[in-house]
Structure 1
Amino acid sequence: MSAERGTRRSWLRILALVALALVAVLAIFALWARAPTIAAIERPDPASFDRSEVVRGAALARIGNCASCHSVAGGRVYAGGTPIETPFGTIFGSNITPDPETGIGAWSYEAFARSMREGVGRDGSHLYPAFPYDRLRHTSDADLRALYAFLMTRDAVRAEPPANALIPPLGWRPVLAGWKLLALPRTGPQAPQPQLGALWERGRYLGEGLAHCASCHSPRGLLQQEVREQAYAGGWSDGWYAPPLDASSPAVREWTAERLYAYLRTGLSTAHAAAAGPMGPVTHNLARAPERDVRALATYYAWTMREARAARSEPVLPDRGAVAARAHPAGAALFRGACAACHEPGAPMMVAGRPDLRLGSPLHQDNPRDTVQIILQGLEPPVEPNGPYMPAYADTLTDTQIAAVTAYMRARWGSGPEWGDLEKAVADARAESGE
């Protein structure tokens, strides 16, 4: 018995030593990972900022779509609280109004610039990469100062966002220092390409930086880092599929710079589709951004998609209505009852210049997510009150019914093989969008 007791004590000592060693390692790692605190300041007097700089900062905030992640429906703009769903849990957008206690009112410009470029808060804590500092890090000092001036002249709103809900140990911010070592790109600014023109250069600077388009339109790796080698090959955002913006774009008609400009400016392209899901707020903001900057973005992204279907810019698109109805009779019946009044050829909406369903990318993608989400959530006019609208059917159609009408639409107007297991796809879409 005494030998057994001695063995047990030896194991307990070993476990205690291992636990102490682990605590020591974690403490050392936490000390190493923490960045220095930058001293708090008194909130700057709004009148101390040059008016022209504030106006330019407002335009840059629209290009960056800042309000979408830092405002919640029914709340004050930039006061935070927007839930951002990730595979690791929910992160809530922070308050970036100049409130000294719950916002960034005590932040100096140096603290603000560090957060934008290094993903570190004023207090030295690491910021979650839902905030796209991996894309913002090459923003110029002049533009960061303009953004700072704009935010510091907003109304200060006292609002504490909900606590992040992440799987352990990801709620422990020093872990993010390890993520940065493994996943944060170390590349410098891209070399100029003057032969492509000043508008292209401006579009690349904004698109690859402040607008952070690749953050949604690129695939993510195991650590949810952007896969830079597959930039613009398509990705996922808020339960929607962000289609490719490269040679693999599923667009039926070529995205010219003019077509893309109209889409980004109005949320609508009669040669393509209407802005849906996360693109709605993007076009809402770009409609109010400087025209030259939006033209620059359109120029750059038309260039990234220059090889996509270039030879088929005006294809003949068949309407396989009879074949689709025979293959999917339930879906055809649902379409006649719920959709035909707007989407059949000759319907008032079509006559008014709304996009033909055959032209939208969703029915030509290799997955049904966007088609399903549009049926579930509908469309709200992203820019103008009389813009594209569609009611949501999440509460009126079952998963089986949405799967049936989706299959019918793909067979009638889409391209590629039929989508499989559509009921599961509908259930997954509901789960990710909280429907």
Structure 2
Amino acid sequence: MNRKWTIALTVVVVGVAGALAFAWQPAIAPVAPVASAMLDQGAVARGARIVALGDCMVCHTSKDGTPFAGGRALRTPFGTLYTTNITPHVDANGEGNGIGDWSLAAFTRAVRQGVARDGHLLYPAFPYIHYTKMTDADIADAYAFLMSREAVDAKPPANDLPLPLRFRPLLAGWNLLYLRSGAQADDASQDATWNRGRYLVNGLGHCASCHSSLNPIGGEGSPAFGGGNVDGWDAPALTTLLDRPTPWNQQQLALYLRHGYSPEHGAAGGPMAPVTHSLASVPQEDAQAMARYLMTLQTAAPPKPGAPALQADSGQLKLGATLFAGACATCHGAAPAGGLPSARSPLALATAVAGERPDNLIQVLLEGMPLETGRSTGQASRYMPPFASALTDAQIAALAAYIRVDIAKRPVWPDVEKRAAALRKAAM
């Protein structure tokens, strides 16, 4: 039996008891769409901050699509889910594919319990197990903001899941295991900044959704924030930030969260880059609070297995050095010259180079990084071209080996060429 069907049957077994008792949820009556001019503009303005902190637009916007109109493919170990349209669209028959006929009560239930207005259960790719910690006021403000958006007629593609997982009542069993509904109370022993940071990290920001491993039925692994993988990109552990070539501090982390860059650690790439775009619009104190809380979670990194380090292949390193000189040294050499001005950290310090796995460096080499203009920090532009069409998997492996061993002075990664081939195939 293959892994996908093993997972599916596991979900069936876990879900049966919960499905019998909790699968049925009543519909909440539709309401007439609220005209944007009738909304409390103060709530709309506050809601813009909440929605940015919750990263809603990133997931609910397809490539080149209208913001919040859904359709983005979320690839999971269980199949592909497509995000929903959360603009206030309702068609002439009152059957819109948006949320224009949702009341605040219906929206709150979705956020807190993962139940749509019509009563069907939502897949936990929508991180309601974290959003449930939101306050009533923040939920109401987010609702006001979304209802003020342009109504877009857009229906996402059908989800691509194996048959058992299409039976949504099974999600009731999953919810019994992982959903603890209700707002999160402040910790009286901590100050306001720490409590704000915990609220943003554990609730609105749902950081553990990406930065934790998933168990066989999609529950977040323990310990939380121990590292995960999203779309072929490693989301590093957030509990070992002191175990880096240059240990993180609160100011570096706050800068990185809000602007996608830290001189000591490099630039955000992959799924993290759009997260920092969202956080760029929120007040600086929010990023500072998140950084403050995260830095209190730090633990000593677990000891590494004692297996002997692999020896780098001299021929591969020589090829990597040649490729680096031709494709990379203009920008990443000791004295960059020409091209766009850039804000670059030394490659030896970059998280993608110092990580335990080669995935992030491979992804950066394949996909490049889009032009960044520095946003509000006044930094110089950042840009890296993609090399997927210019370099073979063997050349990617050689370049990665040279950067890792010769520049970063770290042990060579195993099987980089195979991993490059797999990541290239997954991106097609």
TM-score class, shorter-chain normalisation, is 0.7 to 0.9
> What is the CA–CA distance in structure 2 between the aligned matches of 1:324 and 1:271, rounded to whole Å?
29
> What is the CA–CA distance in structure 2 between the aligned matches of 1:295 and 1:360, rounded to whole Å?
22
Alpha-carbon distance change, 305 to 379 in structure 1, aligned in 2, over 3 angstroms: farther
CA contact under 8 A between 2:373 and 2:382: conserved in structure 1?
A: no
1:65 Cα shift? 1.1
> What is the CA–CA distance in structure 1 between the aligned matches of 2:348 and 2:190, rounded to whole Å?
33
Which residue of 2 is the match for residue 371 of structure 1? 361
Aligned partner of 1:418: which letter?
V
> What is the CA–CA distance in structure 1 between the aligned matches of 2:243 and 2:316, rounded to whole Å?
24
* 1:89-238 matched pairs, under 5 angstroms: 89-100=79-90, 101-181=96-176, 183-186=177-180, 192-227=186-221, 229-238=222-231
1:278 to 271, 278, 297: 271
1:330 correspondence with 2:342: no
Aligned partner of 1:82: which letter?
R
Which residue of 1 is the match for residue 46 of structure 2? 56
* 1:232-247 matched pairs, under 5 angstroms: 232-247=225-240
CA contact under 8 A between 1:267 and 1:382: conserved in structure 2?
A: no
CA contact under 8 A between 1:233 and 1:248: conserved in structure 2?
A: no
Which residue of 1 is the match for residue 291 of structure 2? 298
1:84 correspondence with 2:74: yes
3-state SS, counterpart of residue 80 of structure 2: strand
> What is the CA–CA distance in structure 2 between the aligned matches of 1:66 and 1:383, rounded to whole Å?
23
Aligned partner of 1:372: which letter?
I
What value does the CA root-mean-square deviation take over the aligned residues?
2.7
Which residue of 1 is the match for residue 336 of structure 2? 347
User: Which segment drifts farther, 249-258 or 126-135?
Assistant: 249-258
State the number of aligned residues: 396
Aligned partner of 1:245: which letter?
L
Note the alpha carbon deviations across 1:23-65, whole angstroms, 9 max, x for none: xx99x95795121111111112222321111101001111111
Aligned partner of 1:44: which letter?
V
Aligned partner of 2:160: which letter?
A
CA contact under 8 A between 2:342 and 2:383: conserved in structure 1?
A: no
Aligned partner of 1:146: which letter?
D
CA contact under 8 A between 1:46 and 1:152: conserved in structure 2?
A: yes
CA contact under 8 A between 2:133 and 2:183: conserved in structure 1?
A: yes
1:417 correspondence with 2:411: yes
Unaligned runs of 5+ residues in structure 1 are 1-24, 310-322
CA contact under 8 A between 1:217 and 1:231: conserved in structure 2?
A: yes
Larger Rg belongs to: 1
1:307 Cα shift? 5.6
CA contact under 8 A between 2:342 and 2:381: conserved in structure 1?
A: no
Note the alpha carbon deviations across 1:349-371, whole angstroms, 9 max, x for none: 89854111011112221111001
Instruction: Provide the TM-score with structure 1 as the length reference.
Output: 0.85
Alpha-carbon distance change, 135 to 424 in structure 1, aligned in 2, over 3 angstroms: same
Note the alpha carbon deviations across 1:257-279, whole angstroms, 9 max, x for none: 11112112221111110011111
User: Which segment drifts farther, 254-263 or 382-391?
Assistant: 382-391
Alpha-carbon distance change, 225 to 147 in structure 1, aligned in 2, over 3 angstroms: same
Alpha-carbon distance change, 297 to 162 in structure 1, aligned in 2, over 3 angstroms: same
> What is the CA–CA distance in structure 2 between the aligned matches of 1:40 and 1:247, rounded to whole Å?
47
User: Which segment drifts farther, 56-65 or 164-173?
Assistant: 164-173
Alpha-carbon distance change, 382 to 35 in structure 1, aligned in 2, over 3 angstroms: farther
User: Which segment drifts farther, 263-272 or 415-424?
Assistant: 415-424
Aligned partner of 1:92: which letter?
Y
1:393 correspondence with 2:387: yes
> What is the CA–CA distance in structure 1 between the aligned matches of 2:50 and 2:185, rounded to whole Å?
22
Aligned partner of 2:37: which letter?
A
1:427 Cα shift? 1.5
CA contact under 8 A between 1:324 and 1:332: conserved in structure 2?
A: no
Unaligned runs of 5+ residues in structure 2 are 1-14, 91-95, 303-311
Query: What percent identity do the matched residue pairs reach?
Result: 42
Alpha-carbon distance change, 393 to 74 in structure 1, aligned in 2, over 3 angstroms: same
CA contact under 8 A between 2:242 and 2:248: conserved in structure 1?
A: no
Aligned partner of 1:96: which letter?
I
Aligned partner of 1:142: which letter?
A
3-state SS, counterpart of residue 230 of structure 1: coil
Aligned partner of 1:334: which letter?
L
1:67 correspondence with 2:57: yes
2:34 to 37, 41, 44: 44
Note the alpha carbon deviations across 1:268-323, whole angstroms, 9 max, x for none: 111110011111111111111122212211222233237679xxxxxxxxxxxxx9
Aligned partner of 1:75: which letter?
G
CA contact under 8 A between 2:135 and 2:183: conserved in structure 1?
A: no
Alpha-carbon distance change, 74 to 191 in structure 1, aligned in 2, over 3 angstroms: closer
Aligned partner of 1:238: which letter?
D
CA contact under 8 A between 2:112 and 2:132: conserved in structure 1?
A: yes
1:195 Cα shift? 4.6
3-state SS, counterpart of residue 123 of structure 2: coil
Alpha-carbon distance change, 226 to 333 in structure 1, aligned in 2, over 3 angstroms: same
> What is the CA–CA distance in structure 2 between the aligned matches of 1:31 and 1:300, rounded to whole Å?
38
3-state SS, counterpart of residue 142 of structure 1: helix
Aligned partner of 1:341: which letter?
T
> What is the CA–CA distance in structure 2 between the aligned matches of 1:343 and 1:379, rounded to whole Å?
14
Which residue of 1 is the match for residue 396 of structure 2? 402
